[in-house]
Structure 1
């Protein structure tokens, strides 16, 4: 296991973090998963008020006793944004009680996903400041599924020491946020690269062939671990056994090898070949859409499905539209009414309405919800 400085927090975190959203089958399973993670070198555990019984299960494990000292273990929990400082402070105390802790190494405001969430957070922040002053919270950060502009605005407040965000080989929109956070010496935590990064634990055959002899999951971890600006990547195992495969590369954090670079070049070539003149370059100039369709994300899922046969992943994400609120905003592509508002703004001159309708036909299915709902 490698360890990296978590920005201005000055905590040395393992390059993989134990996420706790999926170990909820029982307290016993949670304990075994935590112990396995610690035995493999993980020293950072992330939970959240909104993850069902996750905080309580972690608290029970801490009370039962773990194989490393509390002083060697870093724990982050997340609470939702609120404009009420007293409510924010109360939520901190409730999390501490469930976790059987007298302090949090890190607290993240969970889901600054809109401008309004940022405004609420700024209004209620004195509740966190009080907890920081008396030692209940050591470091403050935020997690986000927001549009890039909101992420950048939140980073620019200079109120946060770390950020949890989406950034993967197959989703590089937030590269600018990674760079800004690095410039400000913030810790950078990548959310769920194995799942949100493409369900790469169960890749399609086409993608496996393109990445051979390296697995797509290993390749995406290497893409992130090779970036020294990034501190840690989230792993969300449902049981102890799911830790084994990803942690085999927990010490492989050097620069990308020639073989790895060649595979990434091959992936780019495949995308160009398969998509041709219908490739969306993800410039986001098509927004805003009068019908509130998240055009770039819809077409990103189309890109992945056509280029790499990542259709199951596309369906998984597409079903979240209209069912996950601000966590995954936008309406489905069938709401396109051919208004043509986006067409003159597209530098590739794509026939966006036609591509939207085609994507809806390919990816629509049973509606999805966030995992813990």
Structure 2
């Protein structure tokens, strides 16, 4: 397992981290998964108060496995909307659940809106309690996770309040490239959220995508896309059982630059996108926003791109279902809410028939509502 410096925290993290959001089956399954992860070289475990019993299960597993505290780095996450007293109480509760004296990294969980950022930047807000906890040795490093817009993410980075960032960035979603560059410029640790699942459900890829990526798997190529970027410190692996760690960690030493063969395949994927979508290709410039109906136009058309070019309908349906159901974690309305107002049309440099494409995507990807995992 390779290790990389986690930016200005100077922590030396394994290039894969165990995210424990899915470790909710039982304390024993969690313990088995953590034990396997550590045996394979993972030294960074990530959880959150909002992940059900995850903190408690993780804390008990570390006690039962008798893992020396100095050999493991722990990140947990707390809401940005807490007041100072609540933040102080939640920090102590997390310490108790994790059964540790300090938390290596505390991430503000989901700076997803401008109000979240304003709350954090307020000197009389929860940041004061966090700073007190840092002074007391309860917290060692502060960062944030985000599902927000690129403008919001870069604004949060520019505050210089944080030492690391957890964000979405994958081969099939490169919108946050500028945030990656800015975070690296600020010497922040960079943690990539859910590259297998949110990155395209690449653990169960469609046949078309498998053929285009051969002789590699789509999951392997996505990991290589990220590992070849030296600015990125670590990638989350959200294993629910020990067996789910095997495939990802087979390439845990493959942090070299992309090979000629890999680059050729990425070029082939780009060509497939261009050829298949032709004049309907959305290039993700985001100039169509804001939408008067708050429709998440770029994301909907990104999912359409993937469904048509690579037959990633299952992934598209999975993400599309979340619109109107996940609040600020995945904002915006679905394509069927388009009123044909035409506000977006003159702003699209590709002259796309956006209302028609939104309706087409809705028909392709609409599905039954499902509850989010941790609910």
The root-mean-square deviation of aligned C-alpha atoms, in Å, is 0.7
CA distance in 2, matches of 1:298, 1:3: 36
Q: Contact (CA 8 Å) 2:4, 2:12: kept in 1 or not? A: yes
SS of match in other structure, 1:163? strand
What CA deviation, in whole Å up to 9, does each residue of 1:266-287 have, x standing for no partner?
A: 0000001100000000000000
Q: Which residue of 2 aligns with 1:252?
A: 254
Greater Cα offset, 139-148 or 76-85: 76-85
Q: Contact (CA 8 Å) 1:311, 1:363: kept in 2 or not? A: yes
What CA deviation, in whole Å up to 9, does each residue of 1:320-358 have, x standing for no partner?
A: 000000000000100001000000000000000000000
1:52 paired with 2:52, answer yes
SS of match in other structure, 2:294? coil
Q: Which residue of 2 aligns with 1:94?
A: 93
The counterpart of 2:223, out of the listed 221, 224, 227, is: 221
- Normalising by structure 2, we get a TM-score of 0.98
Q: Which runs of 4+ in 1 moved over 3 A?
A: none
Q: Cα 1:34–1:83, aligned 2, differ >3 Å: closer, same or farther?
A: closer
Q: Which residue of 2 aligns with 1:327?
A: 329
Deviation for aligned residue 1:72: 1.2
Q: Which residue of 2 aligns with 1:339?
A: 341
CA distance in 2, matches of 1:180, 1:52: 33
5 Å matches for 1:246-285? 246-285=248-287
CA distance in 2, matches of 1:69, 1:96: 16
CA distance in 1, matches of 2:83, 2:273: 48
SS of match in other structure, 1:245? helix
Q: Contact (CA 8 Å) 1:320, 1:369: kept in 2 or not? A: no
- Normalising by structure 1, we get a TM-score of 0.99
Q: Which residue of 2 aligns with 1:63?
A: 63
Greater Cα offset, 132-141 or 118-127: 118-127
CA distance in 1, matches of 2:353, 2:26: 50
Greater Cα offset, 80-89 or 320-329: 80-89
Structure 2, unpaired ranges of 5+? none
Deviation for aligned residue 1:133: 0.4
Q: Which residue of 2 aligns with 1:28?
A: 28
Greater Cα offset, 84-93 or 281-290: 84-93
Q: Contact (CA 8 Å) 1:83, 1:121: kept in 2 or not? A: no
Q: Which residue of 2 aligns with 1:113?
A: 112
Q: Which residue of 2 aligns with 1:43?
A: 43
Q: Count how many residue pairs are aligned between Structure 1 and Structure 2.
A: 372
SS of match in other structure, 2:23? coil
Q: Contact (CA 8 Å) 1:18, 1:42: kept in 2 or not? A: yes
Deviation for aligned residue 1:83: 4.9
Structure 1, unpaired ranges of 5+? none
